[in-house]
Amino acid sequence: MKILVVGGGGREHSILWALRKTSGRPLELFCAPGNAGIEQIARCVPIDATHIAELASFSTSEKVDLTIVGPEAPLAAGIVDAFENRGLKIVGPHSQAARLESSKAFAKDFMQRHNIPTARHRVVSAAEEAIAVLRSDEFGSESTPVVIKADGLAAGKGVVVARARVEAENAVRELTTGRVSADAVRKIVIEEALEGPEVSLLLFSDGKDFRLMPAARDHKRLRENDTGPNTGGMGSITDANIVDRSLLDQIVRQIVGPTLSGASIDGFPFRGVLFIGLMLTAEGPKVLEYNVRFGDPETQAILVRLQTDLVEICEAIMAERLGQTQLTWSDESSACVVLAARGYPGRPESNVRIDGLDRAAQAEQVSIFHAATARGSDLEWLTAGGRVLGVTATGENLEAATARCYRAVAAIHWDGMQYRRDIGRQTLRLTTTSA
């Protein structure tokens, strides 16, 4: 069976790894464009993830049986629609459903229309209008935190949590003067800042039924104790203590069910992977955002626990028989620590030699997913971007998983390597306190 995974980061590496690990059938794997680490398990094809016509032509010529899309940009651009129009099998939402991620204004309107709990917000069309709202008392006093969001896709650079109005106004000016693309800021969303632990809940959906993945927690800030600038994600964990059974039932009842039924009512039944970013507030769980694909680095921590054949899951989604498919996950906890290059998330250094990578990868219950690596002339490993590696481990509990993960991290080194040393620590503290 031939499978193409679109994308080239740590998320895509973990998807390919899971396909190999869980499927008992012979697989020929492709990745476009991939990276040097992915080349160890799949054939990398030099086609950009957004070049949809080229990807469709490749899939046709190679007789690819199934395509799985990693990043959001090709989904928003209609890759699923284009592939299906050519009779190609692909897992992911159509472009209409992808608006849940590609337009934050659309998503907020969707949530409001279907009574899905989320932060109070305003959508504006110009920087001047945004600043006028911020200078009013609509979102409280000058010291009340607010969130400023670019409406469109902004590669993780379109959200600013502002602790004061001056910071919020500066964020509006930065967003509208070149920080992100002009298309992304045709509208700006202003939200109240919610407080509480964050949770990432991912699920598979075939438009009728859904299956939940283990709840995860991402660590967005660059430095320990959630300080420093926002990033694409510096680590993630899964653990039974993130969300208990009662709270999970509430999330399904108040958020998951209304989201999927709302999508069907509005004419775009959701098929693929839905990622719901949640804040567990004092008033209950509320939606921070929707993503219409696997998260990064949540996927790395989640898929190492998958025991059901991922190909079978994808086939069930396409055939709308997910309701007859039982998913099995290990009872372990997991942790992923992202190793980033110096300069990230601004201008990361590249072509720096990585030492100890092969040795670290041999550790028991450790998987290392390559996000941005290359090979040098002597086949040494080199950095090739901002987030370089996702060191991932499982354990009988979160403490064991994180300890195993950090032992593997300690074996890896390059000049300028940066990473957080507190991945999972907040959850461990919450668990200890509640006990």
Domain ranges of the chain: 2-94, 126-186, 198-434
- Give me the torsion for CA of 312, 318, 323, 324, rounded to 10°: -40
CATH T-level topology, domain 198-434: D-amino Acid Aminotransferase; Chain A, domain 1 (3.30.470)
The whole-number pLDDT of residue 140 equals 87
DSSP letter for 39, please: G
Write the CB contacts of 207 (distance below 8 Å, at least 6 apart in sequence): 264, 269, 270, 271, 320
User: Within 23-147, where are the H helices?
Assistant: 52-62, 72-76, 79-85, 95-102, 104-113, 127-135
**CA–CA dist 369, 10 (Å, integer):** 5
Q: Are 46 and 33 in contact (CB under 8 A)?
A: yes
The whole-number pLDDT of residue 214 equals 98
Q: How many CB atoms lie within 10 A of CB 368?
A: 26
Query: Shortest CA distance to 201 belongs to which of 108, 295, 307?
Result: 295
The whole-number pLDDT of residue 429 equals 54
The whole-number pLDDT of residue 347 equals 93
Q: Is the dihedral of CA 370, 372, 374, 380 positive or negative?
A: negative
Q: How many CB atoms lie within 10 A of CB 306?
A: 19
- Give me the torsion for CA of 411, 10, 222, 75, rounded to 10°: 180
The whole-number pLDDT of residue 432 equals 43
Query: Shortest CA distance to 66 belongs to which of 51, 49, 87?
Result: 87
Q: Are 171 and 146 in contact (CB under 8 A)?
A: no
Q: Are 303 and 81 in contact (CB under 8 A)?
A: no
Q: Are 158 and 207 in contact (CB under 8 A)?
A: no
**CA–CA dist 331, 401 (Å, integer):** 12
Q: Are 277 and 373 in contact (CB under 8 A)?
A: no
**CA–CA dist 104, 76 (Å, integer):** 13
User: Within 103-233, where are the H helices?
Assistant: 104-113, 127-135, 165-174
User: Within 103-237, where are the H helices?
Assistant: 104-113, 127-135, 165-174
Q: Is the peptide bond before 33 cis (omega within 30 degrees of 0)?
A: yes
**CA–CA dist 35, 231 (Å, integer):** 20
**CA–CA dist 4, 31 (Å, integer):** 6
**CA–CA dist 49, 7 (Å, integer):** 5
- Give me the torsion for CA of 1, 57, 271, 237, rounded to 10°: 70
* pLDDT averaged per 10 residues, the chain (length 435): 98 98 96 97 98 98 98 97 98 98 96 97 92 91 90 83 90 85 88 95 97 97 92 96 96 98 98 98 97 97 98 98 97 98 96 96 96 96 98 98 98 98 77 44
The whole-number pLDDT of residue 176 equals 87
**CA–CA dist 409, 293 (Å, integer):** 27
- Check whether domain 2-94 has CATH 3.30.43.10, yes or no: no
Pick the CATH number of 126-186 from 1.10.3470, 3.30.1490, 2.60.120, 3.30.70: 3.30.1490
